[in-house]
Structure 1
Amino acid sequence: MVETCYPWGLSVAVHHQPLGFSYGENVIGPVPEVRRLDQIRPSLRDPDCDGPEEVYAIAMDVAQTQDREVLEQHRLLFGIVTYATGRLGEEPIRSQGHVHCISRHSGWSPPELYEIWQGRAIIYMQEYVADDPGRCFAVMAGPGEKVLVPPGWGHATISACPEEPLTFGAWCDREYGFDYEEVRAHRGLAWYPRLQGQEIVWQHNDAWFPGELQVVTPRQYIEFGITPEPAYPQVVADPARYRFISHPGEVASLWRHFHP
């Protein structure tokens, strides 16, 4: 099955069997990396669960040929991810969870801007990846909606519908890196999503200090200049407006008391 993604500003086709992408004219990107079930078992509630062998495919640094230079100048990078259908035992299909490595050029663990293309997503995020996770949020998002994860927060992306593939784009610092150490040491993030029928319920991970989970819907990030239009055309038209992704320290005051 193939799903084209032209409405989001790029000529990209998403493949679900097998998972991956193909690029249209004037679009460049890497061969997708496929995350397999055995790779993410350490962060699952039940590491021995059954599920699809190929859990998700990811392609980082996708762009139109004519946009690559300006994105490099502003240290911005665009990635695309698509998930399999199904479930991971009692959990929905999801990423393993991580925090972004500190960027050498900015000295910050950079933020990430998600845009949902297909399916229903839950962007789970927690303030810290120490034993006390701080504030925890589950942001429920659908096609066209955007979710901003602030600097230094642990996060994971979850498919909210087992029968429908999830596909999304994400903007991050070109000097991106994923740190899984603390998440794996705690056997996942602070809250596990579980499927009860077609509904998602949440179970606290006892490896973290007790706390509360806030389930919310996306908001408009007016203070960052983000509009409801597709993200890719916005960024390439005015990349300086999105310096908060690659240079988060320039807007340090906006991250204090951030609410997704």
Structure 2
Amino acid sequence: MDLMLLEFAGKQVKPDIRKLYDMREVVYDQEWLQVTEDKDLYYMYRDLSYSNRDHNLIKENDLRYDITIIPPSIIGSEFVKTAGHYHPLIEGTSYTYPEIYEVLSGVAHYLLQKSENSKITDVIIVEAKEGDKVIVPPNYGHVTINPSNKELKMANWVSDQFESIYKPYREYGGAAYFELTDGSLIKNENCENLPGIRKLKPTNFSDLGLYKNKEMYKLIRDPDKLGYLNRPQDYDWLWEKI
């Protein structure tokens, strides 16, 4: 497969490419970075649909379906990862937009962190394998790590009503923790009084149509199953489960 193009719905889709130098502020090993040439890290294929009917349904429900491919790689002493971002608050609420991920192939570590008054108050890591679903709850930023020697391919459903916020991760030099290639998770020294890491299981919740090994793309045919992505304030029962 040519990683520059994605075969989807009979079409060749070009990606947005995240390069190493795009993420220079969030790399743990800055000495390594200084002597390393720029390179592609991962590929993002946004706003996908299988048909015009699906495209219209997706737009009517203020959603977006994406696929991201993260080839196996090393960033100095770290496993390859995404840049990390938060989502903005929904107007008139205390909730930010959530997101739902699905591992299509490979293994992912989703590193979630909650920030309150510029202080990180909760850190979660979820290991997800092929077929697993992982919901990022409101008010959490997140980084995705590929901790294996195989390609990670994942899909996501998310609201299309906002732009992601990368600045906090850049200002703190990365996430609350860095996952090194020896499997250790070390604290980001720029973050004070960090809590320990909680380990959670994937959120394969059948009441939301999320079944392991059943691809979640078809949920758009029953868009109420994705209602929490734009109206998280109506789903406190869900956030209590995670």
State whether residues 106 and 246 of structure 1, in contact with CA within 8 Å, keep that contact through their aligned partners in structure 2.
Answer: no
Shift of 1:225: 4.5
Unaligned 5+ segments in structure 2 are none
Q: Residue 7 of structure 1 corresponds to which residue in structure 2?
A: none
Q: Residue 156 of structure 1 corresponds to which residue in structure 2?
A: 143
State whether residues 5 and 13 of structure 2, in contact with CA within 8 Å, keep that contact through their aligned partners in structure 1.
Answer: no
Q: Which amino acid aligns with 2:229?
A: I
Shift of 1:59: 1.3
Unaligned 5+ segments in structure 1 are 3-14
Task: Describe how 1:49-88 pairs up with structure 2 within 5 A.
Answer: 49=33, 50=36, 53-65=39-51, 66-88=53-75
More displaced, 66-75 or 208-217?
A: 208-217
**Structure 2-normalised TM-score?**
0.88
Distance 1:21 1:84, change over 3 A: same
Q: Residue 77 of structure 2 corresponds to which residue in structure 1?
A: 90
State yes or no: 1:126 paired with 2:113.
yes
Q: Residue 22 of structure 1 corresponds to which residue in structure 2?
A: 7
Q: Residue 22 of structure 2 corresponds to which residue in structure 1?
A: 39
SS in 2 for 1:40: helix
Identity %: 21
Shift of 1:132: 2.3
Match of 1:146 among 133, 151, 172: 133
Rounded Cα–Cα distance in structure 1 between residues aligned with 2:90 and 2:60: 16
Rounded Cα–Cα distance in structure 2 between residues aligned with 1:23 and 1:32: 12
Deviations 1:68-109 (A, max 9, x none): 111111111100000122210110010011101335698842
Q: Which amino acid aligns with 1:168?
A: M
State whether residues 220 and 226 of structure 2, in contact with CA within 8 Å, keep that contact through their aligned partners in structure 1.
Answer: no
Match of 2:230 among 222, 246, 250: 246
* RMSD across aligned positions (CA): 2.3
Q: Residue 237 of structure 1 corresponds to which residue in structure 2?
A: 221
Q: How many residues align?
A: 236
SS in 2 for 1:96: coil
Rounded Cα–Cα distance in structure 1 between residues aligned with 2:136 and 2:153: 17
Q: Residue 6 of structure 1 corresponds to which residue in structure 2?
A: none
